[in-house]
Amino acid sequence: MLFTMTNKTFFYTILVVLIGQLNFAQTNNLSSSPYSIYGLGASNEINPGKTNALGKTGIAMPFDNSINNLNPAAFSNIPENGFYFDIGVKAEKETLFEDGKEEARFNANFSNMAIAFPITKKSGVGITLIPFTNVGYVVLGVETEIDGSTDTFISNIDGSGGLNDIKLNYGYSINKNLRLGVSGSFLWGKITENETDLIEENLLFISEENYYNGFRLGAGFQYIIKDMFSFGSIINFPTKLKGEQTVLVAVNNSATINIEDDLDAFKLPLEVGFGTHFKLNENLFFNIDYRRNFWDATNQSDLIGDYVDQDFFGIGTEFIPKKNGFKYWERINYRAGFNFDNGNLAINNNRVNNFALNIGVGLPLKSGGNSLLNFGYSYGQKGQVNNGLIKENYHLVTFNFSLAGKWFEKRYID
Amino acid sequence: MKHIILCIVIISIVSCSEKEEGFTLEIGEDFVDSNTKVYFIDTLTVNASTFQFDSLIVSNAKRLLIGTYQDPIFGKAMSKSYIRLENDTYDIEDEAVYDSIALILKYDTYFYNDTIPLQQYSVYKLIENIEPDEFEYYNTTDFEYENTPIAIKNFYPKPNKEDSLNIEVLDTFGEELFNKIKDDEINDDFEFQEEYYGLAIEANENNTSVLGFTKESLLRMYYTIEEEEEIIEKTIDFTIDPINTFNQTTSDQTGTYFETIIDQETILPSSETDDSCFIQAGLGIVVRIDIPYVKALNDIPGDGVVIDAKLKFPLKQNTYTDQLHIKDSIRAFVIDKNVFVVDNLTTSNGIAVGIIENENTEFETEHYVLDVKSFIILKQNETHDVFYLAIYPENFTDSLDRYIFNGDQVADDLRIKLELTYAIYND
């Protein structure tokens, strides 16, 4: 056996992994937000491990029995012989508000897959596969005037897909207090937009498939100022994602045009983040993170909005009643957090703000082991109703199955 | 532990089949714009003119078309039929006695112009074999026949009341044929057709109508046999060889707009023919449509596609009656500048058929609407060739129907017009 799990567990894990991979490859329909029509879609904030219930914070948080994808430096202190595996699913129910109208949306899917293990006592690596952006919108009955006539035509528009991020993290401990890390992401994916126009008795169908891919480098450090207080920082460098487009145009179900073309590269901005981690004692810590994406400098705009610098702020806490307690409830991790960001898009000079309150628990899966089922719940709000924007209230549930195993350790014979 | 993992597996599988059923999907309607821009364009120039094909292929004609009529605009139009006859058996008993012979033309209900006056047909014996001109018969093909008719028929046509028109043929013709068969001089089609090339059926030039007869028409010979105090009447039917039977059309266009036509490259613009354009089936007079500035669509910024293109052809008011009737559909050829037929005008469902519509009740005009989308796309991509449409009606090679349309210069509602819907899908 590779690591200490029962054969059945291993089998189920593989099954889950396989299904997960299929989902990443096929559906990608992870969002139902009309805002995902812009750019490459709605950014994903869901990560492996425990950060989802911690206000999405963890820049300064060390590796602590679950994979922390927010800073590559955190991969440097993975326990020796440890092998960590994380798989997550999420479900989201949204309520959209616009001009007195109210509609519900629901979506559910895989949210991540990750592994991490140490290389030496001082260094470790991890690979995470997470969505980078999500596109998922359906709009029916858009009415547009026909130029040169008093008639209108009706459009149904839907979009799906998004970009995936496969990220290699490497962390190295310089000494007891300073950890460094670098990361490299390969971002790729397909965004599909279909539009069906009913023009008098004719049907015009336009299907655009936009393929993007590119690399992005990042770096980070974590520094323990005092035992109880750590500081961390990350940087993700700007990059360009090159794009290709395939357009299929069909009039009355007979395909007339099929074009392949290069798209303008999509520019990802410089991202800089700072975080602090207060560890009051073995049972309680707090995280505070701030990140900024310098979208202004990319000089990009979308159909009705410009990209603007985005600020992200988050705070989170975790409490464990008694880490190695005998009673199950004593070993449960209790988490809470709050996160806010002002969005990267200004629509008619109105920003699409987003905030969420989160709570969560980490349920130990086996006494004495470090595997956890991390459950997070967020209630959030995005946008506002005035000025023609849409407000989204969302309930988001995440499950992260964080498995901790050991490399190269033979099982004792019973 | 196992159960938790199983739960996750189940959740995952459920999450794969998630559908947004039962939700309304209107929010975002004002927020999301269509990426498509649609233009309705009815101002593209359409030039209508008239020309006449040098000849039409009339092989496999579906009827015998015989008659003449005089029209103030088109002049005189004439059609005659050349028919080859054949038979299965050439057997007449030795004791048989000749009685009579008649050409029985079976009405197929087609008529054109005035059927009330007395009409006259003459039947002639051909003195030349009916042969195609390189596999085809043309409306201009003719064959020589004797100067003297073997039958003349004066009659009042009843194409919808009577089944057939009976034309008694001279007995000299009938008896000679009778004897040749009886004496075994003619025993099969080959021997028959060597002596009898066929018949030409011609209308008197003062006739006022054109009539259609089926190819089941026949030449019937009557004879008798006396058997034990009883006379038995018998017949032999010579039927029409459908392959080698066709109609020849001719015209006298003296004093009409068409007088100036030299060949099919002579174009009569509608502006020079009283803002009208013309079709006369059978004689190959058709409307030519030129849409010269289709490429202006390519000047609209962005990538575009033709959604719909309808050509509207208004019939000129008061130019058709119950006698000078019209059919309810038209079709078109795509032709080049040398009037070479490149293709049929098609749609995704096959050959494009323009259907008559009655829209403008105020003026009580009718017009045909033809889907010309494929032609517009062809014109958009035109390089050195220039393409036109030649518009023709139903029964184009089997009638002498004529049509008069408004041209391209008349009042807006009444002129030949192109209505185009064009979409830009990519700015």
Mapping DSSP onto H, E and C, the string for chain B reads CHHHHHHHHHHHHHHHCCCCCCCCCCCCCCCCCCCCEEEEECCCCCEEEEEECCCCECCCCCCEEEEEEEECCCEEEEEEEEECEECCCCCCCCCCEEEEEEEEEEEEEEEEECCCCCEEEEEEEECCCCCCECCECECCCCCCECCCCCEEEEECCCCCCCCEEEEEECHHHHHHHHHHHHCCCCCCHHHHHHHCCCEEEEECCCCCEEEEECCCCEEEEEEEEEECCEEEEEEEEEEECCCCCEEEEEEECCCCHHHHCCCCCCCEEHHHCCCEEEEECCCCEEEEEECCCHHHHHHCCCEEEEEEEEEEEEECCCCCCCCCCCCCEEEEEEECCCCCEEEECEECCEECCEEEECCCCCCCCCEEEEECHHHHHHHHCCCCCCCEEEEEECCCCCCCCEEEEECCCCCHHHCCEEEEEEEEEEC
| Chain mean pLDDT for chain A | 86
The C-alpha of A287 sits at a distance from chain B's nearest C-alpha, in angstroms, of 29
Task: Give B8 to chain A, closest Cα distance, Å.
Answer: 8
pLDDT at residue A5 above 70?
no
Question: Taking a contact as any Cβ pair under 8 Å apart, which residues of chain A between 305 and 364 contact chain B?
Answer: none
Flag whether residue A399 sits within 8 Å of chain B, measured between CB atoms.
yes
Interchain proximity A303–B33, CB inside 8 Å? yes
Interface probe, candidates B25, B43, B310, B346, chain A, greatest A C-beta count within 10 A: B25
Please give the pLDDT value at position A326: 83
Distances (CA, A) of B52 to B154, B247, B262, B385: 33, 18, 9, 21
Q: What residue in B sits closest to A91 (Cα-Cα)?
A: B15
- State residue B18's pLDDT score: 43
Q: Are B32 and A35 in contact (CB under 8 A)?
A: no
- The per-residue pLDDT for A368 is 63
Nearest to B34 among A107, A144, A399 (CB): A144
* pLDDT at residue number A411: 52
Interface residue of B7, B9, B26, B27 to substitute, partner A, most A CBs within 10 Å: B27
Contact B35 A206 (CB under 8 A): yes
Q: Which residue from B141, B144, B142 is spatially nearest to B56, judged by alpha carbons?
A: B141
Instruction: Nearest by CB to B307, from A12, A193, A202: name it.
Output: A202
Single out the residue of B40, B310, B423 nearest to residue A155, CA to CA.
Answer: B423
**Do A147 and B37 count as a contact with CB atoms less than 8 A apart?**
yes
- Residue B408 confidence (pLDDT): 85
Q: Do B36 and A104 touch (CB under 8 A)?
A: no
pLDDT at A201 (0 to 100): 87
For the stretch B273-326, pLDDT in tens is 999 999 999 999 999 999 999 999 989 998 889 999 999 989 998 888 888 888
pLDDT confidence of residue A408: 55
Give A123→chain B minimum CA distance, Å.
30
Q: Is A16 on the interface with B (CB under 8 A)?
A: yes
- Closest Cβ–Cβ partner in B2, B30, B423 for A199: B423
Q: Pick from A15, A139, A204: which is nearest to B28 by CB?
A: A139
Per-residue confidence (pLDDT) for residue A8, from 0 to 100: 52
Question: Who among B18, B23, B348 is closest to A108 (CB)?
Answer: B18
Question: Hey, are the CB atoms on B8 and A399 less than 8 Å from each other?
Answer: yes
Instruction: Give A43 to chain B, closest Cα distance, Å.
Output: 19
Q: What is the pLDDT of residue B14?
A: 47
Whether A10 has a pLDDT exceeding 90, the answer reads no
The pLDDT tens digits for A301-335 are 877 678 899 999 999 999 999 888 888 888 999 99
> Are the C-beta atoms of A153 and A169 separated by less than 8 Å?
no
Instruction: Say if the Cβ atoms of A9 and B33 lie within 8 Å.
Output: no
When CB atoms are compared, the residue of A16, A91, A146 closest to B9 is A16
Q: How far is B288 from chain A (nearest CA, A)?
A: 27
Q: What percent of chain A has pLDDT over 70?
A: 89
What pLDDT is attached to residue B17? 42
- Which of A87, A97, A153, A384 to mutate: most B Cβ within 10 Å? A153
- B308: which chain A residues are within 8 Å (Cβ-Cβ)? 199-200, 202
CA distance A230 to chain B (A): 34
Q: pLDDT band for A384, please (50, 70, 90 cuts).
A: confident
pLDDT one-digit tens code per residue, A91-112: 888 888 887 788 888 888 888 9
How far apart are the C-alpha atoms of B393 and B368, rounded to whole Å? 10
Q: Is A249 on the interface with B (CB under 8 A)?
A: yes
* Contact call for B39 and A304, based on CB within 8 A: no
Q: Which of B40, B41, B305 sits opposite A257 (nearest CB)?
A: B305
What confidence score (pLDDT) does residue A279 get?
Answer: 92
Q: Which helix (H) or strand (E) holds A7?
A: helix A7-26
Note the pLDDT of residue A350.
84
Q: What is the pLDDT of residue B19?
A: 43
Closest chain B residue to the Cα of A107, Cα to Cα = B18
**Helix or strand (DSSP H, E) at A386:** none
Query: How sure is the predictor about A191, in pLDDT bands with cuts at 50, 70 and 90?
Result: very high
pLDDT at residue A30, rounded to an integer: 44
- Which positions in chain B touch A142 (Cβ < 8 Å)? 29, 32-34
CA-CA distances (angstroms) from residue B180 to A250, B99, B174, B191? 69, 15, 10, 10
Q: Cβ of B12 and A139 within 8 Å?
A: no
Average pLDDT over residues A242-260: 86
**Which string of DSSP letters, residue by residue, matches A351-373?**
E--EEEEEEEEEEESSTTS--EE
Tell me what pLDDT residue B349 has: 86
Confidence of residue A9 (pLDDT cuts 50, 70, 90): low
Instruction: Quote the pLDDT of residue A154.
Output: 92
**pLDDT level of residue A257 (50, 70, 90 thresholds):** confident
Taking 50 as the threshold, does the pLDDT of residue A26 lie above it?
no
Say whether residue A14 is in contact with chain B using an 8 A CB cutoff: no
Q: How many CB atoms lie within 10 A of CB A78?
A: 25
Contacts across the A-B interface (CB distance below 8 Å): 176
Q: A278-310 pLDDT, tens per residue?
A: 999 889 999 999 999 999 999 888 776 788 999
Q: Which residues of B touch A389 (CB under 8 A)?
A: 31
Stretches in chain B below the pLDDT threshold 50:
1, 7, 11, 14-23
Which chain B residues contact residue A103 at CB under 8 A? 23-27
pTM: 0.77
Closest chain B residue to the Cα of A144, Cα to Cα = B34
